[in-house]
Amino acid sequence: MYGFGLTLMVVGALSFVLPIFDRQFILVSLIGLTGAGSAGAGVVLFIIGMAIFSAAKNNEAKKLEDILAGNEPPKKTINNPFATITPTRPEAEFEPKSSQSNSASSMPTVNPDEGENMILKEDVTVEALSDVFKSAFMEINVTDELNFSVKGVIFPFFVSIKVDRERGIISFMDYNHLENTTLVQAALLCNKANMSYVLSRFYTLEHQGEVVVAHQCDQSFDKGLSPHQMIENFRRFEKIAGDSMAQIFKAYMKR
């Protein structure tokens, strides 16, 4: 629509201007118009072109408003031979969750005096944390001495966990590829998610030409770590991940 409107505006302008220099624009001349007739037709075409261009612009603005309002736009088909559809999550319907007020993306922690079997800060390692998750009968994949992943209990996908010993923080992270969208649209969706969930933060990035939404929560172990609290925080993160994908990103999830 943008291109068609601009084309009519250009044709109209040339049809109006060229007769001044005793020249005729060929497209208008084909219908037998010359001189004043060509100029008049040019004005009409220019006005029509402006109307079409303006309508296309308003339509695009409405789409962005619909995204912010949570309305699901019609899906578009992209003819891309390299867009191989690889499932990153199982086909499943997640139970909706009511919106929550915005807050910092930090998981709850407990006071070492109130917890039992606390892991001291200097003893927090990937090996120690892996043992905690294994004791809860969860599947573990260790990447290196600072990173590992845990398979979810509620939803069967892996959550990446990073140990930042310098800052005393454990980060729970989840990544999802989107399709039929742009970085700008994905950023608007992330803003909506950040206003809807308390313990998480969402942001978007581009990886190998694809739009990716990242979901992250942090838990401090600066004063020690409660294994029970860490498991509970993992389950909260997993629930928020599933709910946000169902409510906000579902229309754009790569299948």
Q: What is the pLDDT of residues 162-193, one digit of tens each?
A: 999 899 999 999 998 998 889 999 999 999 99
End-to-end CA distance of the chain, in Å? 29
Q: How confident is the model at residue 245 (pLDDT cuts 50, 70, 90)?
A: confident
* CA angle, residues 80, 83, 85, in degrees to nearest 5: 140
Percent of the chain with pLDDT over 70: 58
Q: What is the pLDDT of residues 50-96, one digit of tens each?
A: 777 677 667 766 665 665 555 555 544 444 443 343 334 433 333 33
Tell me how far the alpha carbon of residue 242 is from its chain's centroid. 14
Residues 49/5, Cβ–Cβ less than 8 Å: yes
What CATH code would you report for 121-252?
3.30.1460.10
Phi-psi region of 38 (alpha: psi -120 to 50; beta: other; left: phi over 0): alpha
Relative orientation angle of helices 35-69 and 2-17, to the nearest 10 degrees: 160
User: Which residues neighbour 212 within 8 Å (Cβ) at sequence distance 6 or greater?
Assistant: 175, 176, 177, 178, 204, 205, 206
Domain ranges of the chain: 2-69, 121-252
Rounded-to-integer distance, Cα 246 and Cα 139, Å: 24
**pTM for this predicted structure:** 0.53
